[in-house]
Structure 1
């Protein structure tokens, strides 16, 4: 019976779990501007469960992922729990959940990823919302460094308003997770002259208010962090993703 049903699928030589795996891989890849290798493996035993939309779970592994807002991710792993899907939507290249699910996740960001992400218009525009002495801020040449003592260093040139010369921001801090959803720079030490230090303090307050995962999550998802580690110039996060609906990329109107 299984071979009869899945033998009529529109893709020849594709079993039901392979078909769903390919659809999930394609749907996730569509959320990113560019990706390296992406692979999703759907688990269903027996495979006839798919006819009722039942999946025991699926594993997703991807690397070299560039989001449409310019943020970069070196690697991402998702291990999704048992889930119910609309199997008919698979034939349209879509993934629709019949009920919320949850996934454990591992996300890797390299030092280079962090530096390039901080220089994207997406982040720069958010940082420019900080008013310092009543004037707008213009960031350039921002650099993030992951240190061997598990701290961060942040260096940037920031022009205040119409000033002709930028101020140098030079600080070092540790990272802390608050309420599983906020990232905070703590135990901060500041370098540079007095003007640069005052600006750096205002910048830390602003960035700490900005780094709320709920502000960055895709529609229909909620991210929560359990722990992180810094090693070999990589920042690795471990946590869960609560998924109410499979996210879709929003296409801006022309």
Structure 2
């Protein structure tokens, strides 16, 4: 412990223990991945603390809320519990987190009904939706709303126009959400409302969205996400699963 104190005492973080220094560095590195965050904290576990000098960490716990990604998607709450990991301690003092070997973490991610609605209206998602063509015409989405119902079903409502037409088609869909192969989120048992055209357009939309909702398409570089369970309650969707981390992600 005296050697640890001596080494850390010579570094540019006076009166702070090694685990607190690393915890702050991990918090800052994760914050940098988001455009805006609410309260976030990372707590490094290392016993004895001296093992930090070899870059060994028993793990770290991360809890954050109100996290807005640069693509406009928002996460209400996220918890990561990272297993034992080996880090390049020298990089910490450059504001970087570099893993010497892959690790994995259990995760819990919560999205609110408002998060889901806002996500469907971000340019990031709208651009992907508009790649769908119907009867050879592009689709224009507006006022898309997501609703989490008391029976745990999800509702999707959107106003869609075709090409340059001014006519608005009201699409109203109710569906269950399930995960397949631990990475594909799928709307199933879908019920369509409206006239024949609205139903046909709704079916095309669900097919398109189901093809998009593959977690491998949304994961940050160096990470792989897998969902084991979905819980829907109180206008919230909670995902439980694992994150495999080959390298600490960097914001592009």
TM-score calculated relative to the size of structure 2: 0.98
Backbone CA RMSD of aligned residues: 0.5
Deviation at 1:194, TM superposition (A): 1.1
Alpha-carbon displacement from aligned partner over 1:39-87 (angstroms, at most 9, x marks no partner): 0000001111111100000000000000000000000000000000000
Aligned equivalent of 1:182, options 181, 184, 190: 184
Contact persistence 2:4–2:53 (CA under 8 A): no
Take 2:246 and 2:62, find their aligned partners in 1: how far apart are those partners? 17
Say which SS state the counterpart of residue 94 (structure 1) adopts: coil
Equivalent residues in 2 for 1:187-226, closer than 5 Å = 187-226=189-228
Deviation at 1:15, TM superposition (A): 0.8
Equivalent residues in 2 for 1:46-57, closer than 5 Å = 46-57=48-59
Residue 48 of structure 2 corresponds to residue 31 of structure 1: no
Deviation at 1:8, TM superposition (A): 1.3
Say which SS state the counterpart of residue 173 (structure 1) adopts: strand
Deviation at 1:14, TM superposition (A): 1.0
Residue 41 of structure 1 corresponds to 43
Q: Which aligned runs of 4 or more in structure 1 are off by greater than 4 angstroms?
A: none
Larger CA deviation: 8-17 vs 31-40: 8-17
Residue 60 of structure 1 corresponds to 62
Larger CA deviation: 6-15 vs 215-224: 6-15
Alpha-carbon displacement from aligned partner over 1:93-114 (angstroms, at most 9, x marks no partner): 0000000000000000000000
Equivalent residues in 2 for 1:1-254, closer than 5 Å = 1-250=3-252
Matched residues, number: 250
Deviation at 1:3, TM superposition (A): 1.3
Deviation at 1:13, TM superposition (A): 1.1
